[in-house]
């Protein structure tokens, strides 16, 4: 029996790690290997080849995908995304600190996106703030369960330390104060070391990229 399936969903704006479908949409696709090597893997001082390659890359619809591919796979030689090896060097040096919230949101949506260290940290802190289970975090980041538990514990400590630094524990709420007054016969007693608790604040969600 023949089964026909269709997929009418829009093409995602972010590719997964194993998604190379963007190759076919590049302007250099199908170019003879000799010509491609001469243009995109040119000699350092081959200014004419660099200029011609940049003119092609400047009109290419997948220039950003090409650039991200070079960063994600630590490809430091050749021209990728319209940038030479020297021009991409600062990006490679800072790739572990890249924080693109569109990539973080894509990870929340279940896409297999190559996240930087900063982006993975944003996912973990958001998971803790929103009360994710350890299993869900492990599945999202493709981690071992024990490692996901360690990351969640670290996120709990980080959020607690941040809240202390911002002064969220310095004052007690008015409702809590009235409650203490009722229990202590009108005398309020403020704890000097309140128990850390998970705080859900608008500023916290905004800081983590406004991801749902």
pLDDT digits (tens, 9 = 90+) for 165-180: 666 555 445 455 554 4
**H helix intervals, 73-191:** 85-93, 101-108, 117-129, 134-141, 145-165, 174-183
The helix/strand/coil state of 140 is helix
Q: At what angle do helices 117-129 and 145-165 cross, to 10 degrees?
A: 80
pLDDT recorded at residue 168: 53
End-to-end CA distance of the chain: 41
Please tell me the pTM assigned to this model: 0.50
Residues 83-136: pLDDT tens digits? 998 899 888 888 878 888 888 888 888 777 778 888 888 899 888 888 889 998
Mean pLDDT (the chain, rounded): 75
Residues 184-196: pLDDT tens digits? 454 444 434 444 4
Contact 79, 50 (CB under 8 A): yes
pLDDT recorded at residue 33: 86
Query: CA–CA distance from 84 to each of 13, 54, 62, 197, 205 (Å)?
Result: 24, 9, 16, 49, 37
Nearest Cα to 56, choosing from 94, 26, 95? 26
């Amino acid at each position: 029996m023949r089964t026909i399936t269709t997929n009418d969903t829009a093409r995602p704006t972010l590719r997964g790690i194993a998604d190379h479908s963007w190759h076919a949409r590049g302007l250099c696709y199908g170019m003879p290997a000799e010509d491609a090597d001469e243009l995109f893997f040119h000699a350092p001082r081959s200014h004419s080849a660099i200029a011609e390659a940049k003119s092609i890359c400047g009109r290419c619809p997948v220039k950003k995908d090409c650039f991200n591919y070079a960063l994600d796979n630590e490809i430091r030689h050749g021209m990728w995304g319209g940038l030479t090896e020297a021009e991409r060097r600062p990006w490679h040096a800072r790739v572990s600190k890249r924080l693109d919230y569109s990539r973080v949101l894509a990870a929340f949506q279940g896409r297999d996106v190559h996240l930087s260290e900063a982006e993975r940290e944003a996912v973990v802190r958001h998971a803790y703030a929103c009360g994710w289970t350890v299993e869900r975090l492990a599945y999202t980041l493709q981690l071992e369960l024990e490692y996901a538990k360690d990351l969640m514990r670290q996120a709990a400590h980080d959020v607690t330390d941040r809240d202390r630094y911002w002064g969220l524990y310095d004052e007690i709420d008015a409702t809590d104060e009235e409650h203490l007054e009722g229990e202590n016969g009108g005398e309020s007693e403020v704890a000097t070391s309140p128990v850390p608790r998970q705080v859900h604040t608008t500023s916290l969600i905004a800081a983590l990229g406004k991801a749902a």
